[in-house]
Chains A and B, each alone.
Chain A
Amino acid sequence: GAVVSQHPSWVICKSGTSVKIECRSLDFQATTMFWYRQFPKQSLMLMATSNEGSKATYEQGVEKDKFLINHASLTLSTLTVTSAHPEDSSFYICSARGRGALQETQYFGPGTRLLVL
């Protein structure tokens, strides 16, 4: 139980284009979803927290207009990297937290590797 998927698993795009990454909780309702960014050989850095039906809360230094987050349902959150540039190339990971016993722990997706040319 508590499986989180991400799509796509990797994406290559041209500079200036926008990329959408999906995060889905497959077997539970995710009341809260988190988006992280991981640089090579570094730890996960939280970008934003989203609760279903409300606006995302962004961490300091994260541009909300560049990284658009939508948590439209209890099983889906999307991260859109707008006008992507090479410095946005990274590994993006989502996690989800549910209700009850699933509230205590974040369950992570497999990540999406983004390469901006």
Chain B
Amino acid sequence: AQSVSQHNHHVILSEAASLELGCNYSYGGTVNLFWYVQYPGQHLQLLLKYFSGDPLVKGIKGFEAEFIKSKFSFNLRKPSVQWSDTAEYFCAVTFTGGGNKLTFGTGTQLKVEL
């Protein structure tokens, strides 16, 4: 069965540090890839998405992600995090033939310290 894994469950960074959150999926076919963010007490918001084209995708709030097909990965990056980036980050994937259903990773809790 298709699955999505996020290896980092908890990440603690200081402000201005660089961020990279890992996301891998298991599926040999075509995928659409998403990163969602959930700030404390708020609903899920879309950070960025990849469907096709340039594998380096830029999203909101300075985030970007790179799709590396050979590694089945879609890692999220930000060069310099801020305290306001403290949130939970979810990678999600839709698989062809899956009826556009999102399969979520387990999430990464990011805490940015001042």
Answer yes or no: A104 CB below 8 A from chain B CBs. yes
CA distance A57 to B98 in the complex (A): 12
Residue from A41, A42, A46, A57 in contact with B102 in the complex, judged by beta carbons closer than 8 Å: A46
Residue from B32, B45, B101 in contact with A46 in the complex, judged by beta carbons closer than 8 Å: B101
Answer yes or no: B34 CB below 8 A from chain A CBs. yes
B interface footprint on A16-59 (CB within 8 Å = 1, 0 otherwise): 00000000000000001010000001111110010000000100
Count: A-B pairs, CB below 8 Å:
44
A104-B51, A105-B34, A111-B43 known; A43-B101 Cβ under 8 A: no
CA distance A46 to B103 in the complex (A): 8
Which chain A residues lie closer than 8 Å to B36 at the CB level?
108
A interface footprint on B85-113 (CB within 8 Å = 1, 0 otherwise): 00000100000000111111111010000
Answer yes or no: A71 CB below 8 A from chain B CBs. no
Q: Helix, strand, loop or mixed for chain A's interface? A: strand
Residue of A nearest to B36 (CB): A108
Residue from A34, A43, A105 in contact with B106 in the complex, judged by beta carbons closer than 8 Å: A43
CB distance from A44 to the nearest CB of B (A): 5
Contact of B101 with A49 in the complex, beta carbons under 8 Å: yes
**Chain A interfacial residues counted at CB < 8 A:** 22
A interface footprint on B31-73 (CB within 8 Å = 1, 0 otherwise): 0101010000011111001010000000000000000000000
CA distance A42 to B108 in the complex (A): 10
Answer yes or no: A109 CB below 8 A from chain B CBs. yes
CB distance from B43 to the nearest CB of A (A): 4
Residue from B43, B46, B109 in contact with A93 in the complex, judged by beta carbons closer than 8 Å: B43
A43-B90, A43-B107, A44-B90 known; A97-B44 Cβ under 8 A: no
Contact of B49 with A104 in the complex, beta carbons under 8 Å: yes
CB distance from B42 to the nearest CB of A (A): 7
23 residue pairs bridging A and B, Cβ less than 8 Å apart: A34-B101, A43-B107, A44-B90, A44-B102, A44-B104, A45-B104, A46-B101, A46-B102, A46-B103, A57-B99, A95-B44, A97-B100, A104-B32, A104-B49, A105-B46, A106-B102, A107-B46, A108-B36, A108-B43, A109-B43, A110-B42, A110-B43, A111-B43
